[in-house]
């Protein structure tokens, strides 16, 4: 199987994440995308417990047959690096053709990540969002598939958290993709946030 692994905080998961995952499935021919939320050991502001974030991702996955969520980072008690997670995934999915999904911002930072030389052997799907990457060959990385997207920066988990704190209606916050109005949050995820009084 061709599998994409989409790491992130997903705090909360937005429809931008859904859009990008579908784009990777369509453009690269993936059989599925597995969302991998970061663990609770990360020191990120307003980061909800991983169990809560997994529940929100599951709401989205239940609507998409090619989406799954992994709790691979749930039981880690200390910080893990990309190389640690990639190796666990490699050992578990060694019979599959797997790719790691990321934005162009993280891709450009990749050479500074721990054990970069070991990260070179993996395959990547990189979303070029608001800026184009001039140097496609980043320090010897060759197994990279670039996907251009006009999804804009204001579709963000931060914007959603701020909307909740300011008691705004999330679904009235929209951005534009292909000049079409685009909601930033799944209705059922929004309901889950308000029902559980998250980010308030």
pLDDT tens readout for residues 29-56: 999 999 999 998 877 778 999 999 999 9
Domain containing 54 equals 2-152
Confidence of residue 172 (pLDDT cuts 50, 70, 90): very low
Per the domain annotation, does 26 fall within a domain?
Answer: yes
Q: Give the mean pLDDT of 168-177.
A: 49
Indicate yes or no: pTM above 0.85: yes
Three-class DSSP category at 43: coil
At residue 125, the pLDDT reads 95
Sign for the CA dihedral angle at 97, 131, 21, 107 comes to positive
Is pLDDT at 95 greater than 70 in this prediction?
yes
Per the domain annotation, does 176 fall within a domain?
Answer: no
* Structure-token pair, residue 181: 């109005």
Per the domain annotation, does 173 fall within a domain?
Answer: no
Per the domain annotation, does 165 fall within a domain?
Answer: no
At residue 133, the pLDDT reads 63
Sign for the CA dihedral angle at 98, 100, 104, 107 comes to negative
- Domains of the chain: total: 1
* Structure-token pair, residue 138: 């980043």
Strands (DSSP E) contained in the chain are 2-8, 32-37, 67-69, 97-103, 123-128, 144-148, 174-177, 180-183
Residue 124: give its domain's CATH number. Answer: 3.40.50.620
Is pLDDT at 102 greater than 50 in this prediction?
yes
Cα gap 126→78, rounded to integer Å: 27
Per the domain annotation, does 168 fall within a domain?
Answer: no
Confidence of residue 177 (pLDDT cuts 50, 70, 90): very low
Per the domain annotation, does 146 fall within a domain?
Answer: yes
Q: Give the mean pLDDT of 5-10.
A: 95
Q: Which residue has the higher pLDDT, 12 or 155?
A: 12
Q: Catalogue the long-range contacts made by 157-163 (C-beta closer than 8 Å, 24 or more residues apart).
A: 157/9, 157/10, 157/11, 157/12, 157/13, 157/14, 159/184, 160/12, 160/14, 160/184, 160/185, 160/193, 160/199, 161/11, 161/12, 161/46, 161/199
Q: Give 36's strand partners.
A: 7
At residue 26, the pLDDT reads 96
Q: Which residue has the higher pLDDT, 91 or 171?
A: 91
Per the domain annotation, does 46 fall within a domain?
Answer: yes
Per the domain annotation, does 122 fall within a domain?
Answer: yes
Question: 18 and 58 in contact (C-beta within 8 Å)?
Answer: no
Q: Give the mean pLDDT of 123-142.
A: 73
């Amino acid at each position: 199987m061709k599998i994409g692994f989409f790491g992130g905080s997903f705090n909360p998961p937005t429809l931008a994440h859904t859009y990008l995952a579908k784009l990777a499935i369509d453009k690269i021919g993936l059989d599925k995308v597995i969302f991998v939320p970061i663990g609770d050991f990360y020191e990120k502001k307003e980061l909800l417990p991983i169990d809560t974030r997994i529940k929100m991702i599951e709401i989205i996955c239940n609507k998409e047959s090619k989406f799954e969520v992994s709790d691979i980072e749930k039981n880690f008690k200390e910080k893990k690096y990309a190389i640690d997670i990639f190796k666990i995934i490699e050992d578990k999915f060694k019979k599959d053709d797997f790719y790691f999904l990321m934005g162009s911002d993280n891709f450009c930072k990749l050479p500074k990540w721990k054990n970069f030389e070991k990260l070179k052997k993996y395959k990547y799907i990189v979303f070029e969002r608001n800026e184009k990457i001039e140097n496609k060959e980043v320090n010897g990385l060759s197994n990279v598939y670039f996907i251009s997207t006009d999804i804009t920066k204001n579709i963000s988990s931060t914007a959603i958290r701020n909307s909740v704190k300011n008691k705004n209606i999330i679904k009235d916050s929209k951005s534009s993709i292909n000049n079409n109005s685009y909601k930033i949050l799944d209705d059922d995820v929004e309901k889950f946030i308000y029902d559980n009084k998250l980010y308030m």
